[in-house]
């Protein structure tokens, strides 16, 4: 199942693949869920031990922050890193996304989750205001996407 999912993902042309939006992503998600169920049923296998190892667990802890960070990082960095080549630019963007996700988990999510001092009292609103200003700065820095090659026209997906 893992090989089938990896091959399917590798053959997909990313967000440019119309099939992805016509049930392909749903089928991929169902396949991933089935893989998790199978791995949970036989915990002693190599696949189960790998799935429970440090790297996948850490990525799971960072997943929400990574979800939030990856797209702005790709929009801002990838066009500016073309001199590194496709794979080099992608490696830098992935690294920056992972670093931002790790920092966000440690300095934003965990303090709120564990009710750190800055998340309570008078410092809480100041921290929220600082984060809002940082978000506004990011919004101003991210270029407006240009329609055309490499974009998805949702009207064409119907």
* pLDDT single digits (tens) 61-94: 888 889 888 888 888 887 788 788 878 888 888 8
CB 77 within 8 A of CB 92: yes
* CA distance linking residue 77 with residue 52, whole number of Å: 32
Residue 158: pLDDT above 70? no
Which residue reads 């998600």 in tokens? 29
Task: Note the maximum CA span of the chain.
Answer: 52
Cα 116 from chain centroid?
Answer: 26
More confident residue, 139 or 115: 139
pLDDT tens figures, 97-113:
999 998 888 888 887 77
pLDDT value at residue 133: 92
Answer whether 39's CB lies under 8 Å from 33's CB. no
User: For 4-55, what is each residue's pLDDT tens digit?
Assistant: 777 777 777 666 777 777 777 788 888 888 888 888 888 888 878 887 888 8
State mean pLDDT over 146-157.
64
């Amino acid at each position: 199942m893992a090989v089938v999912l990896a091959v399917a993902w590798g053959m997909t042309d990313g967000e440019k693949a119309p099939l992805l939006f016509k049930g392909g992503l749903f089928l991929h998600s169902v396949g991933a869920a089935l893989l998790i169920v199978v791995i949970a049923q036989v915990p002693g296998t190599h696949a189960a031990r790998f799935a429970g190892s440090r790297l996948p667990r850490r990525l799971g802890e960072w997943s929400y922050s990574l979800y939030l960070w990856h797209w702005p990082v790709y929009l801002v960095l990838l066009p500016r890193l073309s001199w590194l080549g496709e794979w080099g630019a992608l490696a830098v963007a992935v690294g920056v996304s992972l670093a931002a996700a790790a920092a966000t988990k440690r300095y934003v999510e965990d303090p709120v989750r564990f009710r750190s001092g800055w998340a309570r009292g008078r410092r809480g609103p100041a921290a929220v205001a600082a984060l809002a200003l940082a978000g506004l700065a990011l919004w101003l820095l991210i270029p407006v996407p240009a329609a055309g090659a490499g974009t998805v026209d949702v009207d064409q997906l119907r």
